[in-house]
Chains A and B, each alone.
Chain A
Amino acid sequence: MKETDNNDKFLHEENKKREVTAPDGSVIQIDPIQDYFCDARPQVHEPYKVKIVEKFLNWARSESIWVLGFGTGCGSIEIPPLVTPRFDMFRYGVQMRPTPRQSNAFVISGYLSVKTLKRVIRSYEQMQNPKYVIALGSCTINGGMYWDSYNTINRLDQYLPVDVYIAGCMPRPEALLSGFGKLKELIKTGRAEKANEYAENFDWYKANQKKIIKDWNMPDYNW
């Protein structure tokens, strides 16, 4: 584990290493970054060797996609029509989940400011393998109308591995549904292994993320 540097100017006061007097009078050392988070590297989890088992599990994964309720940018307004009667994505086994621990799919719905990217990375890393990313709208592909903005990223796939892109500004809910269809197809054919790809190219992704997030006051991999 990496030592916490108390002189880091971005480190919050409550996260600094310090000595605390316990109720019984003994003095203990606490280091919140080490105590609260685990920063071990992500691991590659191989699919089952037996083809038929993996095929069956992939079918189950594709028919039960739990989407993290995390909206970024203007595209998050396309999610409510999907869970309400007009487009009703529950019929396709797509459901919303409020916590990253239980989610499988992350819909990046539009432009990502640098500040949000940090939260997106933390949430993505808390999701369990296998996990999928759907990038919605042109902003995630090349920056879209924000391509020369000082505060948004242009290409999402430099920071997170993306399974499905949905082009448009804004794509309609039908396009998002078709994106889920495409994701299902990828999972069923065993081509949605981006979580392992993230673990394999971890250093490259981390370097890219740190290049743009200047106030990196969290562990390298927080799950």
Chain B
Amino acid sequence: MEFTVSKLLWTLLGLFIVLNWGLIMGGLMRKIVARVGKRYGIPIYQPYIDLVKNYAIRSQITHGAMFYLGPVFRLSGGIGIFLFLPLIFGSDHWSNFSFSGDLILILYFQFFGMLGMALGAGEGGHPHSAIGIGRGLSQFTTIEVPMTLAVISLAVQYNTLSISEIVAAQQGGIATWTMVTNPFATAAAMLSLLGAFGHSPFNLVKAPNEIPIGPPTEYHSTFLGVLHTNGAILHVVEAALFMNLFFGGATNWFELILKTFLIYFWSVFVGVVFPRFRIEQSVRWFLKIPLILGIIAIILVL
């Protein structure tokens, strides 16, 4: 990994593209959910307007230093994953700052944002934030178990912790994708992805209509704008991570857009079919089938 200014500029351009695709994809998914409910739904560009509106709110209140830092931590979690994730395989410009141990770092960054947000929302002092944080951290801990097992299974299978090398090993058509060569790890990871994306069966962290909006209850205006910006980035990079690990990566932007759309759509598809779990149901669910699949994946590659 070599650091140059032009590399940095390419990475920033990549971030810009990812942000825009994330916003459009978010609008698209909300449109799809609306159509399933036989509604016309929001205009597809609504996330952009919401973002401008949030940044344009004139007054802000604060609850202290951590309240400011919460969204910043969340955003650095999202951008951190982006920075170390190779987006397009074989491209100098779009492989960002990926290096030989990036898989471990990205797993860490997934948790980093949540912890920062927990501290910030905790300082907000709203009881619903505290409930949301408690649910979020306990659910994410159980999501991490099958996901980490799947990742370890991959690391053993490909004998590397570099995402670029894992993608490189899958470049021989669909038959070489991890999806085919290691179906159990893929299944465990795709089930834990449902929880990571936070759509319906596992949306008890934000739980609209129940604990109004969970951790961000007290967040408004620019704070909320930063959180939404991060949400758009995070959805694309998480989907891109799964694309790289299990579905052969992408060799051009069109392939990336198509695959990330389908991976995100998987969680939305499950979300419009199933109603919300309670927290104890969700935790138990992750510790049953996905965990068993993860263990099988480990045993098979050993």
Q: Could you tell me which A residues sit within 8 Å of B by CB distance?
A: 38, 43, 45, 56-57, 60-61, 63-64, 69, 84-85, 88, 90-91, 93, 95, 97-99, 101-102, 104, 128-130, 223
Contact = CB atoms under 8 A, between A and B. Distances in A.
B224 A60 contact: no
B53 A61 contact: yes
Contacts of B59: 43, 45, 128-129
Interface string B214-241: 0011111100100000000000000000
Interface of B: 34, 37-43, 46, 49-50, 52-53, 56-61, 208-209, 212-213, 216-221, 224
Nearest to A60: B52
Nearest to A40: B61
B56 A60 contact: yes
A98 B40 CA distance: 22
A175 to B, nearest CB: 20
Chain B at the A interface: SS class:
loop
Contacts of B208: 98
16 contacts: A56-B52, A60-B56, A61-B53, A64-B53, A84-B37, A88-B39, A91-B43, A95-B42, A98-B209, A98-B217, A99-B217, A99-B218, A101-B218, A128-B61, A128-B220, A130-B57
Contacts of B38: 85
A131 B224 CA distance: 16
A11 to B, nearest CB: 21
A64 B49 contact: yes
B52 A90 contact: no
Given A63-B49, A98-B212, A128 B221 contact: yes
Contacts of B42: 90-91, 93, 95
Given A93-B49, A98-B208, A101-B219, A61 B40 contact: no
A110 to B, nearest CB: 21
Given A84-B39, A98-B209, A90 B34 contact: yes
Nearest to A96: B208
A91 B35 CA distance: 12
Nearest to B124: A101
A57 B52 contact: yes
